């Protein structure tokens, strides 16, 4: 969990290291110079050839409880408001229980305008059947991106080989566009950064160190600002290997209740050149407006 006392002691050192060792490197400096100007821009996702809006709408805050608490009408209004602002990347998962909610929310809108990413948890016996169910629930013939969800072990590729092979087959049949992984430990992230199979990495990232990957082999280990630089190092390897990188937990899983903390985290993500896109779980149009405004302001200094 986010600890203000820890992060404030270490934040200056972490961000200074980013400024000197990351933002000025040829890799990320070039990415920063090439940055678009708004949260709504369609940006390239690594080597995949696919594009998505720079800012995505997370549909799984606190396992989807936050979004489902809006009720169907409220959720529909939220998704359509985001769409009207140009936010076409929707992020969900089997465990969030929002597949059918998204299906209803985008009904009547052009499917091809959306980038839908979902996640398959665990190691199901018949992954292709699970994927077919996902498509039915989402009401779509294809899913843009499917990730194996919440990996924590240093050999998750062996543990989830059945899922990986199934997603590769589905990609070949154009049932899905790309595949990848969401990691929840540093050992899992280190493996992910080096695997050619990974098209897309969904990475927990914020400069305050809230809810980041740590050496502990558990999804909910306590983290702080000391864990920021190890995560950044793995992202650099991902970028060098052509992986798409999407930042999550940008506002500390909702822990950043102060606007200043949210601005700091968003500026870091936008100006470091570490990510192609980011995803934030929203529960109101006001939160969308704030994030869009903050991202646009952060990008403006790069042009």
Separation CA 244–CA 202 (nearest Å)? 8
pLDDT digits (tens, 9 = 90+) for 73-86: 999 999 999 999 99
Which tens digits make up the pLDDT trace of 214-243? 999 998 999 999 999 999 999 999 999 999
Whether residue 32 has pLDDT greater than 90: no
Distances (CA, A) of 59 to 68, 248, 253, 264: 9, 12, 12, 23
pTM: 0.89
Using a pLDDT cut of 90, give the percent of the chain over it. 83
Domains of the chain: 4-300 (3.20.20.100)
Rounded Cα distance, 81 and 230, in Å: 36
Measured CA to CA, the distance from residue 63 to residue 66 in angstroms comes to: 8
Report the C-alpha gap between 58 and 36 in whole angstroms: 21
- Taking residue 217's Cβ as centre, other Cβ atoms within 10 Å add up to 14
The arithmetic mean of pLDDT across residues 87-108, rounded, is 96
Q: Which helix (H) or strand (E) holds 201?
A: strand 200-204
Taking all residues of the chain, what is their mean pLDDT, rounded to a whole number? Answer: 90
Kindly indicate the confidence band of residue 27, based on its pLDDT and cuts at 50, 70 and 90. Answer: very low
- Over residues 98-124, the pLDDT tens digits come to 999 999 999 999 999 999 999 999 999
Confidence check: pLDDT of 17 > 80: no
Taking residues 87-107, report their average pLDDT. 96
Contact 281, 58 (CB under 8 A): yes
> What pLDDT was estimated at residue 34?
54
pLDDT at residue 25, as a whole number: 45
Contact 164, 151 (CB under 8 A): no
The answer on pLDDT for 31 being more than 80 is no
β-sheet bridge partners, residue 180: 147, 200
Separation of alpha carbons 193 and 237, rounded Å: 6
Q: What is the pLDDT of residues 173-211, one digit of tens each?
A: 999 999 999 999 999 999 999 999 999 999 999 999 999
Query: Position of tokens 């999407």?
Result: 246
Sign, Cα dihedral of 83, 292, 4, 154: positive
pLDDT tens track for 246-284: 999 999 989 999 999 999 999 999 999 999 999 999 999
Whether the pLDDT of residue 147 is over 80: the answer is: yes
Structure confidence at residue 37 (pLDDT): 81
The confidence band for 26, taking pLDDT boundaries of 50, 70 and 90, is: very low
**Exposure pattern of 86-118 as b/e (b: 16+ CB <10 Å)?**
bbbbbbbbbbbbbbebbeebbeeeeeeebbbbb
Give the helix ranges, DSSP H, for the chain. Answer: 4-21, 26-33, 65-68, 71-84, 99-105, 127-138, 156-159, 161-172, 186-194, 228-240, 259-271, 285-300
Average pLDDT of 24-51? 74
pLDDT at 170: 98
What region, left, alpha or beta, does residue 62 occupy, with left being phi > 0 and alpha being psi -120 to 50 degrees? Answer: left
């Amino acid at each position: 969990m986010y600890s203000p006392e820890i992060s404030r002691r270490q934040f200056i050192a972490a961000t200074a290291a980013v400024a000197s060792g990351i933002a000025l490197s040829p890799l990320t400096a070039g990415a920063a110079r090439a940055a678009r100007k708004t949260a709504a821009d369609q940006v390239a996702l690594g080597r995949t050839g696919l594009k998505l809006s720079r800012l995505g709408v997370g549909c799984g805050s606190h396992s989807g409880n936050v979004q489902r608490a809006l009720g169907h009408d409220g959720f529909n209004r939220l998704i359509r408001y985001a769409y009207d602002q140009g936010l076409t990347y929707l992020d969900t998962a089997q465990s969030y229980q929002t597949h059918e909610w998204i299906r209803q929310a985008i009904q009547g809108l052009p499917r091809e305008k959306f980038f839908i990413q979902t996640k398959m948890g665990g190691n199901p016996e018949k992954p292709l059947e699970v994927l077919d169910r996902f498509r039915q629930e989402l009401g779509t013939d294809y899913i843009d991106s499917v990730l194996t969800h919440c990996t924590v072990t240093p050999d998750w590729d062996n543990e989830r080989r059945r899922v990986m092979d199934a997603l590769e087959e589905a990609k070949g049949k154009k049932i899905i566009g790309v595949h990848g992984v969401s990691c929840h430990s540093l050992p899992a992230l280190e493996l992910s950064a080096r695997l050619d199979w990974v098209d897309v990495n969904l990475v927990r990232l914020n400069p305050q160190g809230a809810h980041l990957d740590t050496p502990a082999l558990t999804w909910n280990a306590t983290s702080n600002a000391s864990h920021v630089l190890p995560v950044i190092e793995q992202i650099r390897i991902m970028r060098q290997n052509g992986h798409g990188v999407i930042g999550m937990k940008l506002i500390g899983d909702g822990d950043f209740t102060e606007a200043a903390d949210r601005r700091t985290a968003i500026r870091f993500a936008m100006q470091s050149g570490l990510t192609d896109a980011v995803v934030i779980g929203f529960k109101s149009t006001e939160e969308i407006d704030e994030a869009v405004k903050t991202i646009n302001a952060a990008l403006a200094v790069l042009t």
